[in-house]
Structure 1
Amino acid sequence: MERSKESAVWRFFTLASPTSPTALCNICKRQVSRGGDNVTRYNTTNLIRHLQKHHAKEHAEFVQLTNSKGKSTTKQATLADTLLRQEKLPTNSIRAQKITARVMEFIVLGLQPLNIVENVGFRRLMDYLEPRYIVPSRKYVSETALPELYSKVRKQISGELKCAKVLSFTTDIWTSDVSPMSLLSLTVHWLNPTCEHRSAMLGAKNFRGSHTSDAIATALTTMIDEWEIPFDKVHVMLSDNAANMKKAMGSMKVCNLGCFAHTLQLIVNEGLLSQRSLNDALTKCRQIIGHFKHSQLSYSRLHDIQIEMQMQPKRLQQDIKTRWNSTYYMMQSLLEQKRALSAYVADHDLPATLTSLQWALLERAMIVLAPFEELTRKVSSSTASAADVIPAVTVLKRILGKESDCDSGIKTMKTTLLQAVNNRFSAVEDEPLYALATLLDPRYKDRYFTGADFAKKAKDALIKELEEEELRSTTSDATDEAEPPEKVPHVEAAATTLAPPPAAAAPSSKSSFMQEFEQILVECEEPGAASTSSIAVQVQTYYSEKTVPASDDPYQYWGVNRQRFPALAAVATKYLCAPCTSVESERLFSTVSNIMDEKRNRLTADRVEMLAFLSKNLLQGLE
């Protein structure tokens, strides 16, 4: 009888069962007889001959594994080895700790419930992957593993914050729909010593009681103190435009700016409400979409029509009052399905129908609102900064100030939008944070100020800030003083300063917003006057170089050029870390709403904060 599992031949064959009369060749997938007329007479001779005849390479490998006496060199596992493989891993072993760490990552990054470790399917999966691993209990995960991971990541973030010279913050308040809980968030943004943009969630504390300005100020101050952040590091704090938030920032004596995206929301709402005919069309749009939302039969019929017309099946999108761009996407989804809706109306009833004039009105309204939609996406980026505000306002004013053949029927809306932009952003160029951030962004510099007086005022403020920064550096006896810029080769910056932006007049598929954006650069490129002081030389050299393309990363620019312009880079680290919206706090609350749903509405505020903290920070290069 063969000694089946001692022979090296079984590396190349597979048995369907221990008593199977044939073996499957893993190479050619043939069934090869094992010889003999019963299980006691099975052997491996036929299998070896099959390898020799049909698979010379594998046969040679088999021979190498076989000793001179023809016996396999593969040793049978000893009883001790077998018992060791069946023995469970100690919970303090390196292997067990690494698996537990990955389980915790799976839970916090996937927003999984903590009791998933008690799920039968999860336990069967872990038993298959590593039979020796003891899956921890829910109590261990929630009371030991989660706090330990939270403390570890918190410590690492704290270390980075201590190295940062300046910090900017965003904050917001969220109230749960499934639990009597309100959370006050705090996120931080900064540039590290190599000018890389960094951000992290610091907290989402339970905020009970009335949301007064004093209560907000007290809670935020406590959160900042818990992280041992000195207030002289707080550069700016972004929040929504609510009166209680603004008053709270005043009580804390910190610089406060309103969310740029929220202001855009108010501007577009003013424009939409001003055009009676457009409002009537939007009301019909909502009725049409509501009809399909509440009738699966109607949606099925529309879906069939889309397929018959060889259109991409899409669902119509309902708008949300607090998100103006959702109204834009609602109009877009209806216009895309105009043909399908017309075919649907021919055979079925709708609560409202759009006339040909109203369809044309929607198309023209989308053309006017397209720059606002593009800008909303741009400023909602995680890397958008305060430098984006002045250029965005300048471009919007130019676009809305131009007359077009498409203005018919929406002139009132366009005029109202322009007035709202002028009113709500009337002082934007007087705000030092916006002005200096714009100057220090290599994509913009001084090209987007609407008047020479504003540009001069901003440049004077920058010189003053540079002189103060130089004084601070001198008195602090900094050990990492940069070399004079004239001693540093200019080669490093070539990649980011050679290519001028493309001419806006060239025909392209760019949006009207980007074409207007680049046209301003072409009009404003001009050299400045010479100067002799070290700071002035840096500033003049910086201004005289062409702006980098709009698609380039301004943080990367300063990472490359911080030795050429050491004083400018130090100030850029301060002003470019400031965001222009509080979107990061809103994204945080989207995560919180996924953690705390109807099935998990009894989570404590501390537990929710830990899960949200790890979900936002664990993969930010901080672990």
Structure 2
Amino acid sequence: MADSGGYDDSPAKRRNNQDTAPKRRERSAIWKHFVKTSSSLAQCKTCGATIKTPTGTTSPLVNHLKQHPTAMEYRMTATGAPEKDQSMIFDFVHRTNPLSEKKTQALNAKVAAMVALDLQPYSFVEDRGFKELMAEAVPNYRLPSRTTLSRTLVPRLFDDTRKKVKDELSSAFEGGTSAVTFTSDMWTSRANESYVSFTCHLLTPSFRMKRFTLNIRHMELVSHSAENIARMLVEMCAEWEIPDGCRKYIVTDNGRNIHAAVRRLLWTERACFAHTLQLAIYDAISNTPSIDRLCKKARHIVGHYKHSSSAQKRLDEYQKKMGKDPLRLVQDVDTRWNSQYLMLSRLLDLKEAVSVELATSSSSIDGLCSAEWKEALEYLDALKPLYDATDVALCPAVEVVQPAAKVQEPQQCVQPSSDVWSAFDNLANSQVASTPLSTSEWEIKAYSEEALLKKDSDPCDWWRTVGTFRYPSGKALPQVLAHTSHFISKRACLFSGRGGCLCSEGAPPA
């Protein structure tokens, strides 16, 4: 037994010292999410689960915390944990749970597709906002560099898509597709570079419509002669293995050189309906001096508000005083179809506000007089059917099928119809009288006397379910088709806006 002044090393004394000794502070930030219940156990604050922590290690706690990423982020932020502690936990969790190779490749493919579909520059993967978005959405995903995008991912996407399109074309021709329609256009981009587009439209043997943009070719140092254009069209057909025996139709604009090129190839040519309609409108305006003067004056008024923020502000205030939500005037653009109609329509909508603002301001701009306002309204009424017709032609849901045999006899107009679909419904509801037929003419004549489908019907469905059985020798007729909106949109969309800034390095030369 030890004396009273000596050191007491008995078991009871040691236990007492352990109980009264200050506890070691848990320094890891992981303990903000757990409560230590014993030396080898901890309880999760989120789900209440008890986790074993042998020898005091925190690895099991980190692994468990992966199940609650949202709760982890909220608690770290709400408790004001130091940024260093937060980043250590997040980095550790994500570092211990890397993306699989399959998932990484899938995300890389989506980034490459985003470049192709949205006309994004390769450098967008270096933009701060996009990097922060991806870090938040997929923290353990490493974005590809712009070099990887331009040299590996996008070329791979191009090759894969090219192979897929070639396989689909080959399958269609082997299955019996005997006619194709091409759409082609030539234009100069905002970067002052010349391009030609080439798009293929076809109907598969199962009456499914297909459309493929086969090429956007840069016409580098090549004159736009009929001979050069014809050579390019032949080369592109050979490149995509379009059979020589396949009947070829082409829809183009009204340019003389491409007309001459198509005649050299002996293809069947059709002028773009919407393009021809717009040319007719421009010709009518240029040959009507009063309308031409009216449009120039309206354009001058709209330009005044587009270039003067103070005038625009006053115009907005007058609209508010009239109890209307402020609207902006629309500037017409020569290369944008229907923009003249939209300009006059909006100007008439704001007639009262524009007249008051111009009359009370110190501007030298002359407003329209009452006779000119009346003339604008009459001109707008005349343009309305043409605007509707162009709008229908541009609609992505409308397919233009060449009526090779289905021709309606001319009908006398009983009353004018300014609505395109109303006129169509009148035709669909009309009956065509039958005439005595010879046996050899029966099928094609019977087809021409079929009642027209309603505007919301799909002619491909009709041919697939009815026409192919009722008219077996005429089922090749609907293969002559073209998707009008796709032809038109190439010039308007692909190389305008962001596309206009693209360089020609990625486009194949002519």
TM-score (norm 1): 0.63
Quote the Cα distance in structure 2 between the aligned partners of 1:539 and 1:258: 25
Q: Which residue matches 1:190? A: 202
Question: What SS does the corresponding residue of 1:172 show, helix, strand or coil?
Answer: strand
Q: Which residue matches 2:460? A: 555
- Aligned pairs for 1:51-200 within 5 A: 76=61, 86=95, 93-162=101-170, 163-164=172-173, 165=177, 166-178=179-191, 180-200=192-212
Q: Which residue matches 1:375? A: 389
AA partner of residue 365 (structure 1): Y
Quote the Cα distance in structure 1 between the aligned partners of 2:284 and 2:439: 50
Question: What SS does the corresponding residue of 2:198 show, helix, strand or coil?
Answer: strand
Q: Which residue matches 1:482? A: none
Quote the Cα distance in structure 2 between the aligned partners of 1:249 and 1:578: 16
Say yes or no: does 1:578 pair with 2:479. no
Question: What SS does the corresponding residue of 1:232 show, helix, strand or coil?
Answer: coil
Q: Which residue matches 1:341? A: 354
Quote the Cα distance in structure 2 between the aligned partners of 1:530 and 1:545: 15
Contact between 1:197 and 1:383, CA under 8 Å: does it hold in 2? no
Highest CA radius of gyration, 1 or 2?
A: 2
Change (3 A) 1:260 1:150: same
- Aligned pairs for 1:26-45 within 5 A: none
- Residue number among 436, 439, 459 corresponding to 2:404 in the alignment: 436
AA partner of residue 195 (structure 1): F
AA partner of residue 354 (structure 2): L
Say yes or no: does 1:358 pair with 2:366. no
Say yes or no: does 1:228 pair with 2:241. yes
Change (3 A) 1:569 1:315: farther
AA partner of residue 469 (structure 2): R
Aligned residues: 442
Contact between 2:468 and 2:475, CA under 8 Å: does it hold in 1? no
Cα shift at 1:144: 0.9
Cα shift at 1:342: 1.9
Cα shift at 1:327: 1.2
- Residue number among 432, 435, 451 corresponding to 1:525 in the alignment: 432
- Aligned pairs for 1:183-582 within 5 A: 183-208=195-220, 209-323=222-336, 325-348=338-361, 349-382=363-396, 384-387=398-401, 434-436=402-404, 439=406, 446-447=407-408, 449-450=409-410, 511-527=418-434, 529=436, 536=442, 539=444, 542-543=447-448, 545-565=450-470, 567=472, 570-575=475-480, 577-579=481-483, 581=484
AA partner of residue 549 (structure 1): K
Quote the Cα distance in structure 2 between the aligned partners of 1:159 and 1:136: 30
What's the CA shift string for 1:417-468, capped at 9, x where partnerless? xxxxxxxxxxxxxxxxx5516x1xxxxxx43x3289xxxxxxxxxxxxxxxx
Quote the Cα distance in structure 1 between the aligned partners of 2:463 and 2:430: 25
- Identical positions, percent: 26
Change (3 A) 1:174 1:512: closer
- Residue number among 490, 496, 503 corresponding to 1:593 in the alignment: 496
Question: What SS does the corresponding residue of 1:344 show, helix, strand or coil?
Answer: helix
Quote the Cα distance in structure 2 between the aligned partners of 1:275 and 1:192: 47
Quote the Cα distance in structure 1 between the aligned partners of 2:136 and 2:411: 70
Quote the Cα distance in structure 1 between the aligned partners of 2:25 and 2:460: 67
AA partner of residue 86 (structure 1): R
Change (3 A) 1:100 1:19: closer
Gaps of 5+ in 1: 5-14, 24-33, 49-60, 68-73, 388-433, 440-445, 453-503, 610-623
Cα shift at 1:260: 1.8
If asked which structure has higher relative contact order (CA below 8 Å, sep 6+), I would say 1
Q: Which residue matches 1:604? A: 505
Change (3 A) 1:66 1:540: farther
Contact between 2:43 and 2:50, CA under 8 Å: does it hold in 1? no
Quote the Cα distance in structure 2 between the aligned partners of 1:78 and 1:517: 67
Question: What SS does the corresponding residue of 1:314 show, helix, strand or coil?
Answer: coil
Deviates more, 1:234-243 or 1:275-284: 275-284
Cα shift at 1:100: 0.9
What's the CA shift string for 1:1-23, capped at 9, x where partnerless? 9999xxxxxxxxxx9x9569xx9
Gaps of 5+ in 2: 1-22, 52-58, 67-90
Change (3 A) 1:175 1:117: same
Question: What SS does the corresponding residue of 1:604 show, helix, strand or coil?
Answer: helix
Cα shift at 1:256: 1.6
Contact between 1:236 and 1:255, CA under 8 Å: does it hold in 2? yes
AA partner of residue 352 (structure 1): D
Quote the Cα distance in structure 2 between the aligned partners of 1:2 and 1:574: 83
AA partner of residue 158 (structure 1): K
